[in-house]
Amino acid sequence: MGDSFTEGMCDELLPDGHYRGWADRVATALAAELPADGFRYANLAVRGKLIGQIHDEQLAAATAMGPELVTLAGGLNDVLRPGCDIAQVERLLGRCADELRAAGATVVMFTSTDPTRRLAGSARLLPAILRMKAFVHELGQDDGIHVVDLFAAPCFDDRRLWAEDRLHLSPEGHRRVAAGVLEALGRPAGFDWRAPLPPAAPPGPVDRLRSDARWLRTHLGPWIGRRLTGRSSGDGRPPKRAELLPFR
């Protein structure tokens, strides 16, 4: 359940043309533990969704599947918007977690990464992100809720873990989140997903200016345009995997 984070937007594609995100990587790892067709996987996430939409459009469908395990991520799209009602975000996120637990599911949740260490102008978001972080950790006191603390992993300060749009993860970022989820579930992660990448030469000033100009033109401008017109990148888009089907 969730938005683009869980849908898995990046520049790596599955054979069916969908993005290969961390949830798909986790599904691959869990499916390998079971006999053929013994593992079923659905991904109800849709890019751009707010927590109210996740609650209204995904929760009932998820609980109806009788899931044993659900990942739940949402609220950051709300936080990005001025005037966000953070108390309402917490209420809806908590309600989703409570109903999933009541349905018998183990739930995996996430804290946001810290955007202030890599994105200029994001300091205004930090109070809400810190409040959400504390709220998610509080929910994680339930034995059936596991929290992947991305905020505490400074490797996500590295731009190589992010796509060109600077909002979505790169394939390496998704690989690390998948390892964090598996670790939270008691599976071997296979590597230290929190470890920094090997050092790389920083871009020169000209390359940095070109990159910033391309980002403004290609990503930030359209994003602002959608906000001003009340549109979302997920409008009219169906879930990535709407049915609970065998996965390999």
Residue 37: the pLDDT is: 78
Domain ranges within the chain, ordered by starting residue? 4-197
Token readout for 57 is 């459009």
Question: What are 151-198's pLDDT values in tens digits?
Answer: 999 999 998 999 888 789 999 999 999 999 999 999 987 899 999 999
Residue 109: the pLDDT is: 98
Rounded CA separation 164/188 (Å): 30
Rounded CA separation 36/46 (Å): 28
Residue 79 burial class via C-beta count within 10 angstroms: exposed 0-12, middle 13-18, buried 19 and up: buried
Residue 67: the pLDDT is: 97
Q: Which CATH number fits domain 4-197: 3.40.50.300, 3.30.830.10, 1.10.357.10, 3.40.50.1110?
A: 3.40.50.1110
Rounded CA separation 103/248 (Å): 26
Specify whether the CB–CB gap between 159 and 166 falls below 8 A: yes
Residue 194: the pLDDT is: 97
Who has greater pLDDT, 17 or 227? Answer: 17
Residue 81: the pLDDT is: 86
Q: Of 66, 54, 35, 43, which is closest to residue 93 (Cα–Cα)?
A: 54
Question: What are 115-160's pLDDT values in tens digits?
Answer: 888 777 788 899 999 999 999 999 999 999 999 999 999 999 998 9
Question: What are 14-62's pLDDT values in tens digits?
Answer: 777 788 999 999 999 999 998 877 899 999 999 999 999 999 999 999 9
Question: What are 93-109's pLDDT values in tens digits?
Answer: 999 999 999 999 999 99
Instruction: Round the CA-based radius of gyration of the chain to a whole number and report it.
Output: 18
Residue 121: the pLDDT is: 74
Confidence of residue 82 (pLDDT cuts 50, 70, 90): confident
* Helix/strand/coil for 229: helix
Q: Of 88, 162, 174, which is closest to residue 132 (Cα–Cα)?
A: 88
